[in-house]
Amino acid sequence: MELELKGKVAIVTGGGWGMGKATVSGFANEGVRVVIVDFDEGRGNAALKEMKEKGGEVLFAKVDVANWEMVKQAVATTLERFGQIDILVNNAGAWQTEFFVKQKREDWFFQVDVCFYGTLNFIKAVIDHMISRKTGSIINVASDAARIGEPNQPIYSGAKGAVVAFSKALAKEVGTHGIRVNVVCPSLTVGERRSEMVEKMKQENPEKYAEYEDQMKKALRLYPLRKFGRPEDVANMIIFLASDLRAGHITGQTISINGGYCMV
């Protein structure tokens, strides 16, 4: 499907791994020039090398999305190098898996900082530029946790819920400037993080691994398609939403890519 994305410029946060990396790869295949933002240098550089080997025009910026100064610098570098920013994907996320009653107050902040303030930071840093060019597509990655609330992930659910509500408000504010703002909500998606974690568990703690496998089998029953997501499933929707040609009338929407896990 022609998407008319060739030559556009995208920033993808958390682009070193998982859905972020799959999105970078999908954009590179479409001829989009991409800035991979990640705070992990190893992951960022590995993704950069992989994309370059495939012929992609990509940069890596080592940035913590929660750090406003680093975010401003990354946007300035992107504009210096590529001259424009057409697409922003706020994908970096952070969570703690623990019941609210057991979480300490100190545990809240990094989740809100990365999921919500990280998203605000990048949007604040690019929005005047997008307004001046009267074009832009912003895609924020939230979670089904934002839509239904996940026990064990209460702060994360709240921070991602804030991303959903904020995105709708912003879509209403900036639509007249030709800027679209949408949200994608994955459910359980198996990327490098989970694969590494499971492999380690298998090697180091076979008993815990057997318990985990059992839990996953039970969890799978909640997915009508009887499969968990792949990073590419989410990336495909992000890339579609980035296209003015194909998604030019879509803004303020929250779309789940979840094998039917929740239907709201």
CB closer to ligand NAD out of 65 and 244: 65
Residue 232 interacting with ligand NAD (CB under 6 A): no
Q: Residue 109: which H helix or E strand, with range?
A: helix 108-112
**Residue of the chain from 31, 40, 50, 96 that contacts ligand NAD (CB under 6 A):** 40
d(CA 153, CA 97): 5
* Tokens representing residue 163 in the block: 């991303």
Q: How far is the CB of 228 from ligand NAD (least distance, A)?
A: 8
CB closer to ligand NAD out of 17 and 82: 17
Q: What are the angstrom distances between the C-alpha of 45 and each of 34, 52, 57, 257? A: 13, 10, 14, 28
Residue 94 interacting with ligand NAD (CB under 6 A): yes
Interhelix angle for 18-29 vs 231-242, to 10°?
50
Span interacting with ligand NAD, options 3-11, 12-20, 173-181, 204-212, rule CB under 6 A: 12-20
Q: What are the angstrom distances between the C-alpha of 52 and each of 28, 55, 151? A: 9, 5, 41
Q: Which amino acid is at 218?
A: K
**Residue of the chain from 9, 75, 125, 141 that contacts ligand NAD (CB under 6 A):** 141
* Tokens representing residue 74 in the block: 């990354």
Residues 148-187 that bind ligand NAD (CB under 6 A): 186-187
Residue 43 interacting with ligand NAD (CB under 6 A): yes
CB closer to ligand NAD out of 23 and 244: 23
- Bridge partners (DSSP) of residue 182 are 139
**Residue of the chain from 54, 134, 193, 227 that contacts ligand NAD (CB under 6 A):** 193
CB closer to ligand NAD out of 189 and 251: 189
d(CA 135, CA 179): 5
Residue 91 interacting with ligand NAD (CB under 6 A): yes
Based on the residue annotation, tell me whether 209 is a catalytic residue of this protein. no
CB closer to ligand NAD out of 81 and 193: 193
Query: Which residue has tokens 């690019």?
Result: 126
Residue 39 interacting with ligand NAD (CB under 6 A): yes
Helix (H, G, I), strand (E, B) or coil at 176: helix
**Residue of the chain from 26, 56, 93, 154 that contacts ligand NAD (CB under 6 A):** 93
Residue 123 interacting with ligand NAD (CB under 6 A): no
Residue 114 interacting with ligand NAD (CB under 6 A): yes
Residue 147 interacting with ligand NAD (CB under 6 A): no
d(CA 83, CA 80): 6
What values do phi and psi take at 16, rounded to 5? -85, -15
Alpha-carbon torsion 76, 81, 84, 88, what sign?
Answer: negative
Torsion of Cα atoms, 228 then 254 then 96 then 227, to 10°? 0
Q: How far is the CB of 72 from ligand NAD (least distance, A)?
A: 14
Could you list the active site residues?
156
Residues making contact with ligand NAD (CB under 6 A): 13-14, 16-20, 37-40, 43, 63-66, 91-94, 114, 118, 141, 143, 186-189, 191-193, 231
